[in-house]
Amino acid sequence: MNIIPTGLSAFQIKVLLIDDQPIIGEAVRRMLSEQPEITLHYCSDPIQALPMANELRPTVILQDLVMPEIDGLTLVKFFRANPATRDTPLIVLSSKEEPLTKAEAFARGANDYLVKLPDKIELIARIRHHSQGYINLLERNEAYAALARSQQRMAEEIEAAVKFVMSLLPTPTESPIRIDSRYVPCVDLGGDTFGYHWIDDDHLAVYLLDVTGHGLDSALLSVTVMNVLRSKALAGADVRVPGQVLGALNDAFPAENYGEKFFTIWYGVYHRPTQTLSWSGGGHPDALLFAGDQPAGSLPQRLGSDGPMMGMMPWPEFETSQCAVPAGSRLYVYSDGCHEIHSSDGAEWKFDEFVSFIAEPSSSPQSLMDRLLATARRLKGSDQLDDDFSIIEMCFP
């Protein structure tokens, strides 16, 4: 009874025998005739061996050493130089048991050496052994190729998602309030997004949120929340009252309904007639307000974010805080990717150092946001940061 080895997948065992003696071809054919999983192809002309191997793609080559027109060792060398047969197992057949000939055959790239004609059981065992190893190599290469294609598709999808997210971000404004921003996604698309828009003639909303994790699911949730804020579709909430907005978001996006994804947010509303800012936050870094009447280099007022992350738990009430915004003030709203920088030496940039950097006067023609990004990259030792870098700068006239 013939036992067909398992694990050969879709690849069939194909043997290419190269020998100028038809009697050897017939003998090998008879040895393999009762092995249905093994297909034998015979080549009596060594000149045709290479083209035939390129067409058949055998899983093992049996080759005589003594043939007319082409020396067997030279043919071994040709097989190893040929891309299609570079890795194909090659068993040399010789009529003599000569150590020097064996050594030369192995040096040229042969995988095995048999004195012909070998025992039927031994020949079949060696054919199966070498073919299985080669088939494993082919399957591994196919798996690697499939993985590379998958990674390429994922990279293309992430690139498209990054472009989509960036297309939704607001453009800079100059009047009546100058607003600019920076968004630099990390290597894995994260969950940062932000926006600002006039609710009515007197109220300007500004917000920045950061969904936990990375990838398309995080980005999709952040875009969904941003669209809700833009559309002002928050049942029972006055979008001019930040605490009510966060309460409505917390109720609308429970983590158990969104793949256990939470998000932090800072949401503020500037009232132009009274020059006041109301805000509320959930698990987000404090916004930084530099009052227009404070001395240069002074530390900013930290507009705290005291509530929990959105979707983490039911919360009875999110507090709305308020402060004055004198003329000439600057407000910075940002994600933790702007200050949680793990430097190349293993240290971490402290938050107080980040705040001091923001407060420090500079004569550089670069904007503060660009200088901050350059500093983060320098500390990291790479242009690619660990998390999304998102920041909004608002300058009040």
Whole-number pLDDT of residue 257 = 94
Residue 288: CB atoms within 10 A of its CB come to: 19
CB contact at 8 A, 76 and 95: no
Q: Strands of 149-198 (E only): list them.
A: 178-184, 191-198
Residue among 304, 331, 332 at smallest CA distance from 319: 304
- In this prediction the pTM is 0.69
Assess contact for 58 and 73: CB atoms under 8 A: no
Task: Report the amino acid identity of residue 132.
Answer: Q
Reported confidence tier of residue 10, pLDDT bands at 50, 70, 90: low
Candidates 15, 82, 75; CA nearest to 47 is 75
Q: Where residue 199 falls among pLDDT bands split at 50, 70, 90?
A: very high
At residue 4, the pLDDT reads 38
Please state the length of the chain.
Answer: 397
The more confidently predicted of residues 4 and 16 is 16
State the Rg of the chain over Cα: 35
d(CA 118, CA 389): 69
Whether residue 195 has pLDDT greater than 90: yes
Q: Is the pLDDT of residue 248 over 90?
A: yes
**Phi-psi group of 355: left, alpha or beta (phi > 0 → left; psi -120 to 50 → alpha; rest → beta):** alpha
The residue that leads in pLDDT, 112 or 233, is: 112
Using an 8 Å Cβ cutoff, are 307 and 246 in contact? yes
CA distances 99 to 29, 64, 94, 112, 358, Å, are 28, 16, 12, 13, 77
First to last CA, the chain: 92
**Residue ranges of domains in the chain, CATH in brackets:** 13-141 (3.40.50.2300), 169-395 (3.60.40.10)
Instruction: Please state, as a whole number, how many other Cβ atoms lie within 10 Å of the Cβ of residue 271.
Output: 15
> Percent of the chain, pLDDT > 90?
72
Average pLDDT, the chain: 91
Q: DSSP class of residue 336? A: G
Strand partners, 394: 179, 331
Q: What are the tens digits of pLDDT across the range 30-54?
A: 999 999 999 999 999 999 999 999 9
- Residue 281's CB is within 10 A of a number of other CB atoms, namely 27
- Three-class DSSP category at 201: coil
Nearest to 294 by CA among 250, 324, 338: 324
